[in-house]
Each structure stands twice: as C-alpha cells, then as structure tokens.
Amino acid sequence: MKVWISRLGCSRALALRMDNALKINEIFFSIQGESSWSGYPTVFVRTSGCHLRCTYCDTTYAYHQGERLSIEDVVQAVRGYPAQYVCVTGGEPLLQPGIYELMRRLCDAGLNVSLETSGDKDCAKVDARVKKIIDVKTPDSGEAKAFDERNLQYADHLTEYKFVICSERDFEWSENFARQNNLFEKSNVLYSPSFKSVGERWLAEKILSTHSAARLQLQLHKYIWSPDTRGV
C-alpha cells in the first residue's frame, strides 16, 4: 500500500524554501505496530536524515534517501488514505524545520497524529495535540548520551517514553532511569525487545519478575510481514 515519492508529481519541490519543504523518504499506509495506538490503520510519513547511528536501527535506508516535497504535497498524500491516524517518523523528523508546520496542519485536519523521535532533540515546538513517542537510548544502543533532558518535562498522558532493550544491562538501566524521573507515574513507558537481540518472552518475564510498571511493546509489523519488508 506504499506511495512512492516519485509518483506524487512534485518536480517543483527543488525550488521550495527550507521552511516549506521536507525531505521525505516514504509515505505509506499500514498497521501501526508500536505505541499505545498499536493496531490502528495508520498513514506513515517517514522523513529522511538522522544524526544518530543506533546499533539496532532497522531503517538505515532513511539516513539519506528521499525527495523534497512541499508541506501541502505531504498533507494531500496523507489525506488520500482512509485513516484517522498518522505517524510522523524517520530518520529523525525534528531535524527539519518544516516538520512542525506539517504536524500542525495534520492536527488541524482532525487527524490523530503521533511523532516518533530519537529523544535527542527538544520537543518544545511540537504541537501540543501530537502524541510524542520519545526514545530514551539505552547503553547498548551505542547512543546512550543522545538524550535531551528537557524532554522529561513533557511527561504526561499524551507522551510515551520508549526504551529498546538489548540486554539485561539495558533493562536494569531503563528501570533506574524511569524510576528516577518518575516516568511510570506520569507517562506510558514502553519496553521493546531489540529484534533478534533479546526474546519477547525473556523481556515479558523480566517485566513480571521485577514488578516493573513498563508496558511490553512488540513491533507488530515485523510479525505480520517479513522483518525486512519496507512500506509496512
């Protein structure tokens, strides 16, 4: 169900100003596989470009590949699908100035909008209506220092903090981080097993045996389709 960027008819995008254009890797329609909105039919807008290099990254193709589109082109592409949910992901969406206007426009259109971000960029400019899925990089991610602590101030019912668990060390570190910052009391805390690094059952049993308040999250799309399939 993917829309390839080249089919959107946007040759004029090269002339667009930076604040009115976005470098987009792909736009596609699928089932949301993560967050508390997991399972909903969702339009995904994947931006191009990321400043981090996490060990478990499964979208390395988004580091550089993409085409510049106007915000209006992206909004029209999203509204061409029969979905009420939109996920802005990457790459790292907050690297591009125009992403804030895009999210505002999508919210104004009455859509439920979520943002998946690395946690290394301050979310201050993100529209308050957007559900923020903020990564907290664990030690085994290779990017453990990549977290902007200003993002802790956004802990509320609309914000979710995601920890990708690669090992027992990651689990213990995540528990300590979440407790020290009162995330369990304020927000939804998601623990996701790093695909092929730790088992789903292992992580489930760790959550149960330690009485953790975290929510187990599996990447549903990797179980419905092949883990290497793009556009799902």
| Residue 179 domain flag | yes
CATH number of the domain to which 95 belongs: 3.20.20.70
Q: Which two tokens stand for residue 80?
A: 């061409």
**What average pLDDT does range 86-99 have in this prediction?**
97
Domain for residue 19, yes or no? Answer: yes
Supply the range of the domain harboring residue 173.
2-224
Contact 138, 163 (CB under 8 A): yes
Residue 42, strand partner residues: 30, 85
Closest C-alpha to 20, from 63, 68, 88, 67: 68
Tell me which of 32-36, 85-89, 156-160, 218-222 is least confident.
218-222
> In this structure, are residues 142 and 54 in contact, taking their beta carbons and an 8 Å threshold?
yes
Q: Is the pLDDT of residue 16 over 70?
A: no
pLDDT over 70 percentage in the chain: 89
The number of domains in the chain is 1
Mean pLDDT of all residues in 171-185: 97
Say which DSSP state 230 is in: S
Measuring CA to CA, which residue among 180, 183, 185, 218 is closest to residue 202?
218
Q: Residues 97-124: what's their mean pLDDT?
A: 97
pLDDT at residue number 232: 65
Residue 232 falls inside a structural domain: no
Asked if the structure places residue 230 within a domain, the reply is no
Q: Is the pLDDT of residue 3 over 70?
A: no
What pLDDT shows up at residue 221?
76
Lowest mean pLDDT among 7-11, 115-119, 159-163, 168-172: 7-11
Per cent of the chain over pLDDT 90 is 81
Look at residues 113, 175, 163, 109 and name the one whose alpha carbon lies nearest to residue 138: 163
In the numeric block, which tokens belong to residue 183?
Answer: 């995330």
Confidence bin at 218 (pLDDT 50/70/90): very high
Q: Residue range 36-65: average pLDDT?
A: 94
Residue with the larger pLDDT of the pair 193 and 197: 193
Q: What is the pTM of this model?
A: 0.88
Cα separation, 64 vs 141, whole angstroms = 20
Closest CA to 95 of 120, 60, 128, 67: 120
Does the CA dihedral 225-227-231-232 come out positive or negative? positive
Q: What does the pLDDT look like over 134-158, one tens digit per residue? A: 999 999 999 999 999 999 999 999 9
pLDDT value, residue 7: 43
Residue 57 has pLDDT above 50, yes or no: yes
Q: Is residue 20 a part of any domain in this protein?
A: yes
Q: Could you give the CA distance from residue 162 to residue 117 in angstroms, rounded to a whole number?
A: 10
30 within 8 A of 42, measured Cβ to Cβ: yes
Spell 156-187 as b/e; 16+ CB within 10 A means b. eeebbbbbbbbeeebbebbbebbeebebbebb
pLDDT class of 195 with cuts at 50, 70, 90: confident
Judging by DSSP bridges, how do beta strands 67-70 and 85-89 pair with one another? unpaired
